[in-house]
């Protein structure tokens, strides 16, 4: 297998991320780095820290195909299925972004895809998955109930499960975000990433660990969806009942891979309230002219509210991980946003 990893030790070889980037070239978009001087001024007001160049950098994965980073891991995972797995078809479980990514990747590869989504899934995300050609099954009031239905359908139909975060190939694909950040900002000191199951944050942290060990990677979770921090605190996988407005971060647990990689490579995780996260959505819309879903704005919100330990002169990059927000919800979300000091 071209993506080299050790299941027993839960390690991914550094060269796996280079191979992942080569395999994904032409399959996914190479997203730009945006900048915001206003965000840096807010950071100064909140934390008393002067950032290098007087700017905050933002990796614009919300501009990725399907509107989130998830297409990276999904494309890589499907590309490495064997012929029998491709013929049998695949199944995914997701509140939206991973489902859309699997639907698109499967359609491009000529693979049948089934995606299971909770009944609470945003309608626009459901419609997108259907438009991409996947069979959508809506089931359960919670992600956990949808997960149980996915397992039942997978077994009955003999489908290959494409895990949303806890698979080394998926993590290697998501980690290419970190490879690109380092190519565009070689002296980056800090990367801040929203955390659901942890695949993106742990992928980026693992990719950067040998390329630039001095770079710290911090994760950001909603207070009402803290699967990875709970697992790290308990040193074992912990089921949680997520309920955040940031539905893209509502993982019911963090898996063995993300627990191991998070323990090894993340500098830390902070948690935010939903109104604090929505403050990031509002700032991005008003001051950066970028439409983010709540999950996609969590990293930005964390630095704006002064929750991440920062140092003078650092180059800081936040990841805008997704932009799939239902237009009819935007007004209500912005109305709930917590104020940000310094604005």
Domains and CATH numbers, the chain: 5-68+167-335 (3.40.50.1100), 70-161 (3.40.50.1100)
Active site residue 321: yes
**pLDDT above 80 for 268:** yes
Q: And the tokens for 79?
A: 């590309």
pLDDT (tens digit per residue) in 274-306: 999 999 999 999 999 999 999 999 999 999 999
pLDDT (tens digit per residue) in 211-220: 999 999 999 9
pLDDT given for residue 1 in this prediction: 53
Which parts of the chain fold into alpha helices (H)?
14-24, 37-47, 70-79, 83-88, 97-109, 123-131, 143-157, 168-184, 199-211, 227-234, 256-265, 274-287, 294-304, 330-335
**What CA–CA distance (Å, rounded) separates 105 from 210?**
29
Which residue among the candidates 36, 68, 70, 244 is catalytic per the annotation?
70
For helices 168-184 and 14-24, give the axis angle rounded to 10 degrees. Answer: 80
**What CA–CA distance (Å, rounded) separates 64 from 72?**
9
pLDDT (tens digit per residue) in 11-44: 999 999 999 999 999 999 999 999 999 999 999 9
Say if residues 301 and 36 touch (Cβ distance below 8 Å): no
**pLDDT above 70 for 230:** yes
Which residue among the candidates 36, 94, 225, 321 is catalytic per the annotation?
321
pTM of the complete model: 0.96
187 CB contacts (<8 Å, ≥6 apart)?
Answer: 315
* 3-state secondary structure (DSSP) of residue 330: helix
Give the residue carrying structure tokens 């919670």: 142
> pLDDT grade, residue 193 (50/70/90)?
very high
The closest alpha carbon to 10, from 311, 256, 334, 292, belongs to 256
Active site residue 70: yes
């Amino acid at each position: 297998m071209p993506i080299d990893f050790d299941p027993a030790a839960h390690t991914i070889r550094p060269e796996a991320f280079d191979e992942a980037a080569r395999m994904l070239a032409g399959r996914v978009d190479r997203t730009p780095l945006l900048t915001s001087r206003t965000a840096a001024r807010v950071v100064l007001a909140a934390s008393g820290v002067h950032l290098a160049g007087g700017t905050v950098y933002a990796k614009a994965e919300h501009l990725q195909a399907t509107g989130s980073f998830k297409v990276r891991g999904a494309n890589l995972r499907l590309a490495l299925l064997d012929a029998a797995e491709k013929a049998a078809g695949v199944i995914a479980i997701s509140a939206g972004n991973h489902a859309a990514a699997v639907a698109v990747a499967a359609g491009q590869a000529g693979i049948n895809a089934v995606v299971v989504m909770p009944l609470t899934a945003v309608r626009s995300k459901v419609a997108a998955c259907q438009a991409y050609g996947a069979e959508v099954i809506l089931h359960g009031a919670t992600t956990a109930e949808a997960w149980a239905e996915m397992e039942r359908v997978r077994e009955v139909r003999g489908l290959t499960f494409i895990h949303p975060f806890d698979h080394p190939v998926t993590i290697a694909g998501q980690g290419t975000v970190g490879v690109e950040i380092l190519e565009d900002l070689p002296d980056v000191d800090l990367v801040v990433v929203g955390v659901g199951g942890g695949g993106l944050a742990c992928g980026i942290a693992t990719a950067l660990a040998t390329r630039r060990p001095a770079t710290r990677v911090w994760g950001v979770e909603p207070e009402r969806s803290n699967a990875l921090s709970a697992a790290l605190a308990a040193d074992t996988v912990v089921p949680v009942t997520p309920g955040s407005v940031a539905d893209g971060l509502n993982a019911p647990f963090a898996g063995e891979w993300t627990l191991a990689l998070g323990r090894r490579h993340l500098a830390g995780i902070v948690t935010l309230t939903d109104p604090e996260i929505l403050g990031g959505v509002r700032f991005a819309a008003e001051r950066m002219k970028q439409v983010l879903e709540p999950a996609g704005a969590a990293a930005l919100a964390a630095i704006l509210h002064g929750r991440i330990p920062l140092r003078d002169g650092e180059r800081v990059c936040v990841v805008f991980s997704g932009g799939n927000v239902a237009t009819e919800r935007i007004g209500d979300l912005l109305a709930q946003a917590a104020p940000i000091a310094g604005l």
